[in-house]
């Protein structure tokens, strides 16, 4: 039996500094179906920080999941409740981040050594909210790289009702590797995620790590319930160009120029509300990746949208340079 319907079929990974509300809005222009995740927000930040800034999002972003970081069941439960009140469709717990700051707080990947505490956290979060509570974790950490350990971990969390496991298919080295190296050096073992699905067919497994194209995602979907893409989408949001037609049965074909226009209009609205131009424009740099004049677009934005006093007009001007060939074709 598998859970249905399946919102986890395709998702975009939580990425600090990258998957803020502006980038998520951009991705949503490209795909209506894909599930979006926020950057990690700590439980304490949710409880004591500037909530509109940390949690605010556009209704168009749905379905969107809030990723929390923390290791205190009571605080995580409270933060999850706030997330639900703000309208998030899911609350996810980060059990995979190896950064020193996060380790210093005793959460993220180092929690993979503490399944009892993690189960307590997830149980408290589940009790606090009606939306799904999911876990995002690694295959293991440090010397704990053993399929048996991973299977017992899943069993433990399933025991408190967790039904969705997002598995970054490599372990994390907590000492000696930077977070960036920890996304590249430990070996990817997709077979372990496939095996989890075989061993726990009633649970939902989302495979993450190193997936670059929709063809690759489709191949994994023969073995697991969902695929999460991270860097590939940031590097080129149009990697999701055919996602709606191919995975969601939507007759939709986004075009880069249309998406660019929508994003410039969005930027204008944001700037009017006091958001700095670059906070949005920086996410648009890869919008014409691998396209004719894509490098020109990137350069124009980097040079002009990052200047003091720049207005969204510089984006319209950059787009004119990009759109010129299209206009010429239409005229000729
Ligand atoms: C810039 C950056 C920031 C990240 N921040 C987070 C985070 O906040 N929470 C998290 O669970 N994973 C984070 N990750 C890891 C991604 O969610 C994902 O697991 C990882 O990049 C592997 O997927 P990919 O190969 O498709 O990028 C981050 C990755 C990157 C590149």
Distance CA 146, CA 222 (A): 24
CB of 208 sitting under 6 A from ligand 1 = yes
The annotated binding site for FMN is made up of 14-16, 67, 136, 168, 208-210, 230-231
Distance CA 281, CA 169 (A): 32
Closest residue to atom 1 of ligand 1, CA basis = 15
The answer to whether 52 and 82 have CB atoms below 8 angstroms apart is no
DSSP state letters, 226-252? EEEE-HHHHH-GGGGTTHHHHHS----
**Torsion angles phi and psi, residue 265, rounded to 5:** -60, -40
CA of 283 to the centre of ligand 1 (A): 16
To which residue do tokens 């424009």 refer? 281
Q: Which fold has domain 256-331?
A: 1.20.120
Respond yes or no: is residue 121 known to be catalytic: no
- Pairing of the two strands 90-95 and 10-12: unpaired
Q: Under DSSP, is residue 114 helix (H, G, I), strand (E, B) or coil?
A: coil
Please give the class, per CATH, of domain 10-247: alpha beta
Mutate to test the pocket of ligand 1, among 170, 183, 212, 216 (most ligand atoms within 8 A of CB): 183
Closest residue to atom 28 of ligand 1, CA basis = 15
The pair of structure tokens assigned to 72 is: 């205190």
Same fold, 10-247 and 256-331: no
Closest residue to atom 15 of ligand 1, CA basis = 15
What is the sign of the dihedral through the CA atoms of 174, 178, 181 and 183? positive
Mutate to test the pocket of ligand 1, among 12, 13, 183, 211 (most ligand atoms within 8 A of CB): 13
Domain map (residue ranges) of the chain: 10-247, 256-331
**Residue closest to 235 by CA, chosen among 317, 188, 187, 290:** 290
**Residue closest to 158 by CA, chosen among 112, 198, 122:** 122
Render each residue's pLDDT in the chain as its tens digit; 332 residues.
344 579 999 999 999 999 999 999 999 999 999 999 999 999 999 999 999 999 999 999 999 999 999 999 999 999 999 999 999 999 999 999 999 889 889 999 999 999 999 999 999 999 999 999 999 999 999 999 899 999 999 999 999 999 999 999 999 999 889 999 999 999 999 999 999 999 999 999 999 999 999 999 999 999 999 999 999 999 999 999 999 999 999 998 899 999 999 999 999 999 999 999 999 999 999 999 999 999 999 999 999 999 999 999 999 999 999 887 655 555 44
CB of 209 sitting under 6 A from ligand 1 = yes
CA of 92 to the centre of ligand 1 (A): 13
């Amino acid at each position: 039996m598998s859970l249905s319907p399946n919102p986890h079929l395709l998702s975009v990974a939580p990425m600090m500094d990258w998957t803020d509300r502006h980038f998520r809005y951009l991705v949503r222009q490209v795909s209506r179906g894909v599930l979006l995740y926020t950057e990690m927000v700590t439980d304490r930040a949710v409880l004591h920080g500037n909530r509109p800034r940390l949690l605010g999002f556009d209704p168009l972003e749905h379905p969107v999941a809030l990723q929390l970081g923390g290791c205190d069941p009571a605080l995580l439960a409270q933060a999850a409740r706030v997330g639900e009140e703000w309208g998030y469709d899911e609350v996810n717990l980060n059990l995979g981040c190896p950064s020193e700051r996060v380790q210093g707080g005793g959460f993220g990947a180092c929690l993979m050594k503490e399944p009892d505490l993690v189960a307590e956290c997830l149980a408290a979060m589940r009790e606090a909210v009606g939306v799904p509570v999911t876990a995002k974790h690694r295959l293991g950490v440090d010397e704990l790289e053993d399929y048996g350990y991973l299977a017992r971990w899943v069993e433990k969390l399933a025991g408190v009702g967790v039904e969705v496991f997002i598995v970054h298919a490599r372990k994390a080295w907590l000492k000696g590797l930077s977070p960036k190296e920890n996304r590249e050096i430990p070996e990817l073992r997709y077979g372990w995620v496939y095996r989890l699905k075989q061993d726990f067919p009633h649970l939902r497994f989302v495979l993450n790590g190193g997936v670059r194209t929709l063809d690759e995602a489709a191949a994994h979907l023969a073995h697991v319930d969902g695929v999460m893409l991270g860097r590939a989408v940031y590097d080129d949001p149009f990697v999701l160009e055919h996602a709606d037609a191919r995975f969601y049965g939507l007759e939709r074909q986004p075009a880069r120029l249309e998406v660019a226009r929508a994003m410039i209009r969005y930027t204008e609205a944001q700037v009017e509300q006091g958001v700095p131009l670059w906070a949005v424009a920086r996410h648009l740099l890869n919008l014409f990746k691998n396209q004719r004049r894509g490098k020109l677009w990137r350069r124009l934005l980097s040079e002009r949208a990052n200047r003091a006093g720049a207005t969204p007009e510089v984006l319209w001007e950059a787009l004119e340079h990009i759109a010129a060939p299209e206009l010429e074709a239409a005229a000729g």
